[in-house]
Chain A
Amino acid sequence: MDLRYSESDEAFRAELREWLARTLPQLDAPPARDDWDGRRRYDTDWQRRLHDAGYAGINWPLAYGGREASPTEQLVFLEETTRARAPYVGVNFVGTLHAGPTILTEGTEEQKARYLPPILRGEEVWCQGFSEPGAGSDLASLRTRAVREGDHYVVNGQKIWCSFGHVAQFGELIVRTDPDAPKHRGISWLILPMDLPGIEVRPIETVLGSSEFCEVFLDDVRVPVENLVGAENDGWRITQVTFSFERGTAFVSELMDSRRVIDDLSTVVRDPGQRRELGHLAAEFDALWALTKRNVSQAAHRGAPGNGGLMIKLAYSEARQRLGDLSLRVLDRGALDLGREMVEERVRTLNLTIAAGTSQIQRNIISERLLGLPREPQVQIA
């Protein structure tokens, strides 16, 4: 066990810190929550700056505009950007953390060369079209159909909960290409240009009163066959690859942010019972931080993150919601104002136990994959 960052990690940290101190004051004020043109511009402008300074795609190959550095440098990057309160990935989330890494691992050389650099340069925004009205936790039951016609797939169906769908140029789309195969076998992973004829995107209002996600209707949409990633009908396996990128460093910024919330809250909490609870939460987030480091160092040394990612998702989302509950109690009737950051955060974090696999599904996965417990009959898990 060696928890020290290497000298080169620390040198990277110093250089990045200096760059952040120089760059952040040049940024405009962040746009309003529902100013989507503004948010797209703001987030992609930040991505562009990262790219030009050599900080985009820390662990992506140099050939596609990345830095080709170690997972620990990735951790340092996230630590420093969060500490400096730099912009979050925002609308670049799916491109940089989902679709990009998936194409990097599973795509053809042409696909990598075409799609990866514009993601890192902040030129192209992606969204995720996985969930459907009838296929949420049971994602493999998806019904959106793609029928091969010559050199196109003709796609019909409906996707839902596509975060940033209304500002994206591309979507990672999973579709059914073989309706006769068992449900996990007949799925394919496609790159969907969002400007194709037959696509209609309708924003959905969230509990925050703004529209982070959308419904996407697909009506005879003709997707070129070269947009298939991996083999036809091998899409479920590729989807698992996509999900695996959610582990590792996915929650680093959120964890760091939680620790900042604790520090902020600490300056106003006086009640001894509430202080004890806050101390307890601080210890939990410290521990999750340590678990994150273990996970990242496993990724660095073994090439793949350990199982810690599954556990971090479950433990983090529930701890974060308890932190939010405490902050509302501390604010008392001050919590009646959704415009206050802590109040908005409490409402936003309701999604942590739902998005990217509900807590119930996480527990199923941990007990079945990690502990080897038998599956429940009739219920098939991702």
Chain B
Amino acid sequence: MNFDLSPDQEALRDGIRSLCEGRFPMKRVRNGFDHEMFGELADAGVFSLRADGFGAADAAVVFEELGRAIVPGPLVWSYLAHSHVDGVVGGLEVAGREPTWLVEHYEHLDSLVVVDDDAVLVVAQRAIEPAAPIERPLDPLTPVHRVDGLPAGEQIGDRELVASWRREGAVVSGAFLIGIAQGAAELAVAYAKERRQFDRPIGSFQAVKHLLADMVVRAEVARSAVHAAACTLDDLELGDVERAVAGAKLLAGEAAVANGKTCIQVHGGMGFTWEVDAHLFLKRAWLLDTVFGAADHHADAVAKMLPQS
């Protein structure tokens, strides 16, 4: 047993980290997702990880780094769909007959994969009826369109693919979420060392430093859960994969949301401004908490897996 990153995984992490620092600084991230960004991520191998022989644990390492830099885009879907559909792929989870759906990054998509309980379907973006944009999307870096009807689409997978995408999507978006939790913690710690009040850094006040300690603990506990779930996806004999995945997504989502909120709090009035990045972490966390199962969904799922009377 060695739960540390392997040397290869460390190299992978460092590579993606320097890609993010070099190519996706916050200034560019704030302009949102575009085709050029997709191309650079594709060249770096982010979407083809599976085809290139990497496992879910490796993907978790990569997506945590992307989350730390809050790189925008339909990244998880394009990763999942890579060996099935070309180009920029967005995704939509549908349950039953909803009157309307919200599609992320509509304008930049080549295709949309639609996942319901029984099948995965692919729809060309052109075939989707002109959709009304949401004027003020919650996450400013994730534009959202309202779609009132979806064309039939072509089936590319059955229940088995649905199950496998739900698991892997939860783990990979969970990894992105722990990246958010980590990034928000780093931002808050840096500010707490620099901002001075009462003639000393605010990070010397316990009321502040205890908030920061809780941020790193939350991120670390959630990271352990995400890594354990990813390892279990790669090696099903390690344990109950459904339980590991549900717990990982649950804790990662909560850690990201809590750290996003705390990051704003630690920044005081600056935290409430558009200019400071804190809100971008929180908003992406809120958004990702709604995909591949929200917190309550997974808590209920774990509860169902516990022994019953």
Cβ-based interface call for A190 (8 A) = no
- CA distance in complex: A363, B215 (Å): 11
Question: Do B309 and A287 touch across chains, with their CB atoms under 8 A apart?
Answer: no
Question: Do B247 and A286 touch across chains, with their CB atoms under 8 A apart?
Answer: yes
Cβ-based interface call for B57 (8 A) = yes
The interface stretch among A193-201, A203-211, A275-283, A331-339 is A275-283
Question: Do B213 and A366 touch across chains, with their CB atoms under 8 A apart?
Answer: yes
Cβ-based interface call for B287 (8 A) = no
Cβ-based interface call for B274 (8 A) = no
Cβ-based interface call for A364 (8 A) = yes
Question: Do B302 and A282 touch across chains, with their CB atoms under 8 A apart?
Answer: yes
State which size class the interface on B falls in. 35 or more
Given A1-B2, A371-B212, A373-B204, A275 and B251 contact (CB-CB distance below 8 Å): no
Question: Do B216 and A377 touch across chains, with their CB atoms under 8 A apart?
Answer: no
- CA distance in complex: A9, B192 (Å): 45
Question: Do A280 and B302 touch across chains, with their CB atoms under 8 A apart?
Answer: yes
- CA distance in complex: A267, B303 (Å): 11
Cβ-based interface call for B210 (8 A) = yes
- CA distance in complex: A293, B227 (Å): 11
- Residue interface bits A344-382, CB-to-B below 8 A is 1, else 0: 000000000000000010111011101111111100000
Scan residues 215-244 of chain B and give those whose CB is less than 8 A from a CB of chain A. 216-217, 220-222, 224-225, 227-228, 230-232, 235, 238, 243-244
- Residue interface bits B1-39, CB-to-A below 8 A is 1, else 0: 111111001000000000000000000000000000000
Of B203, B222, B238, the contact of A373 (CB 8 Å cutoff) = B203
Minimum C-beta distance from B213 to chain A (A): 4
- CA distance in complex: A291, B4 (Å): 11
Scan residues 274-309 of chain B and give those whose CB is less than 8 A from a CB of chain A. 296, 298-309
Q: Which residues of A contact B232 (CB under 8 A)?
A: 3
Q: Which residues of A contact B251 (CB under 8 A)?
A: 283-284, 287
Cβ-based interface call for B193 (8 A) = yes
Main SS of the interface on chain A?
A: helix
Q: Which residue on A lies nearest to B252, using beta carbons? A: A287
Q: Which residues of A contact B303 (CB under 8 A)?
A: 266, 275-276, 278-279, 282
Number of chain A residues close to chain B: CB under 8 A? 54
Q: Which residues of B contact A371 (CB under 8 A)?
A: 189, 203, 209, 212-213, 216
Question: Do B243 and A291 touch across chains, with their CB atoms under 8 A apart?
Answer: no
- Residue interface bits B99-123, CB-to-A below 8 A is 1, else 0: 0000000000000000000000000
Cβ-based interface call for A24 (8 A) = no
- CA distance in complex: A372, B212 (Å): 11
Given A276-B296, A283-B250, A314 and B1 contact (CB-CB distance below 8 Å): no
Minimum C-beta distance from A304 to chain B (A): 13
Of A275, A294, A362, the contact of B224 (CB 8 Å cutoff) = A294
Question: Do A368 and B4 touch across chains, with their CB atoms under 8 A apart?
Answer: no
Scan residues 45-91 of chain B and give those whose CB is less than 8 A from a CB of chain A. 57
Cβ-based interface call for A315 (8 A) = yes
- Residue interface bits A31-52, CB-to-B below 8 A is 1, else 0: 0000000000000000000000
- CA distance in complex: A272, B303 (Å): 9
Query: Could you jot down 7 A-B contacts, CB within 8 Å?
Result: A262-B306, A286-B243, A308-B224, A311-B220, A360-B210, A364-B210, A367-B209
Chain A residues engaging chain B, CB cutoff 8 angstroms: 1-6, 9, 72, 262-263, 266-268, 272, 275-280, 282-284, 286-288, 290-291, 293-294, 296-298, 300-301, 308, 311, 314-315, 360, 362-364, 366-368, 370-377
